[in-house]
């Protein structure tokens, strides 16, 4: 039985770590968390955030039954910090690691038809569309003007980017701990390899890719 879950997300500027307890039914309780918004410090802050969250929860690594990690979409560097850290914890503890779409942790908490957007930099946004909490379009990356709004009645996600759309802005603004845990479809399944949702190639290129 998976009761106590370490939750990590670095797909947005928020360096998110926490511990969530899965109760009966849909009951989820946040036991401890540490979230710091710093787009340039994922590597430096993530592990200390994990340890702080465990301390607040009054738990140790040995108390964890599983790890949930947001797999993006997100920037290459920040995203891989979270996924590598989650994989390392899972391997060291011998517990399963479940990867989820970070946008699902936002859109899954909404009702009606909603557009979810986060910062993709380069004047673009990562986006997906949801109907009563279920993703039916995306994820993808586009300039805001090229995002297919469709019949969306509201937009959630990064406030600065949500404001680019002529729609009411609702929460959540970033992937939440409960949202990430709720995005796991099947806790009884053996999770497959973590697959990052980069959606575009990283800026850094190998010598071979640069023709050198």
* pLDDT of 59: 98
Are 18 and 73 in a shared domain?
yes
What is the spatial distance between Cα 196 and Cα 212, in angstroms, rounded to a whole number? 27
Are 97 and 154 in a shared domain?
no
What is the spatial distance between Cα 178 and Cα 50, in angstroms, rounded to a whole number? 16
Its domain, for residue 91, covers: 4-102+175-182
Are 88 and 128 in a shared domain?
no
pLDDT digits 0-9 by tens, 92-130 = 999 999 999 999 999 999 999 999 999 998 899 999 999
* pLDDT of 209: 41
Are 37 and 98 in a shared domain?
yes
What is the spatial distance between Cα 88 and Cα 92, in angstroms, rounded to a whole number? 6
* pLDDT of 27: 87
Are 92 and 63 in a shared domain?
yes
pLDDT digits 0-9 by tens, 148-182 = 999 999 999 999 999 999 999 999 999 999 999 99
- With a cut of 90, say whether residue 208 has pLDDT above it: no
Are 166 and 96 in a shared domain?
no
Question: Residue written as tokens 């986006």?
Answer: 127
Sign, CA torsion 127/53/87/21:
negative
* pLDDT of 39: 85
pLDDT digits 0-9 by tens, 9-68 = 999 999 999 999 998 656 899 999 999 999 889 999 999 999 999 999 999 999 999 999
Inside any domain, residue 194: no
Are 85 and 156 in a shared domain?
no
CATH code of 141's domain: 3.30.420
Q: What are phi and psi of 47, to 5 degrees?
A: -65, -45
- With a cut of 90, say whether residue 202 has pLDDT above it: no
CATH code of 80's domain: 3.30.420.40
Inside any domain, residue 205: no
Q: Decide: 45 and 38 in contact? Cβ < 8 Å.
A: yes
Give the chain's domain count: 2
Are 12 and 95 in a shared domain?
yes
What is the spatial distance between Cα 139 and Cα 95, in angstroms, rounded to a whole number? 28
Are 108 and 96 in a shared domain?
no
């Amino acid at each position: 039985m998976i009761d106590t879950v370490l939750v990590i997300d670095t797909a947005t500027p928020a360096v998110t770590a926490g511990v969530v307890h899965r109760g009966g039914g849909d009951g989820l309780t946040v036991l401890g968390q540490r979230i710091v918004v710093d787009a340039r410090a994922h590597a430096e802050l993530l592990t200390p955030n994990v340890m702080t969250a465990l301390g607040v929860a009054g738990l140790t690594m040995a108390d964890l039954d599983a790890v949930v990690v947001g797999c993006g979409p997100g920037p290459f560097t920040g995203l891989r910090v979270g996924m590598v850290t989650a994989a390392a914890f899972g391997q060291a503890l011998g517990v399963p690691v479940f990867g989820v779409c970070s946008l699902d942790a936002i859109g899954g908490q909404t009702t009606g038809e909603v557009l979810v957007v986060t910062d993709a930099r380069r004047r673009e946004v990562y986006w997906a569309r949801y109907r009563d909490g279920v993703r039916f379009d995306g994820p993808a990356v586009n300039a805001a003007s090229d995002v297919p709004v469709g019949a969306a009645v509201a937009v959630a996600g990064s406030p600065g980017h949500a404001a680019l759309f002529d729609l009411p802005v609702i929460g959540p603004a970033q992937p939440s701990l409960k949202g990430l845990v709720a995005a796991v479809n099947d806790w009884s399944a053996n999770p497959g390899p973590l697959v990052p949702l980069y959606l575009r190639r990283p800026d850094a290129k190998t010598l071979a890719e640069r023709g050198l």
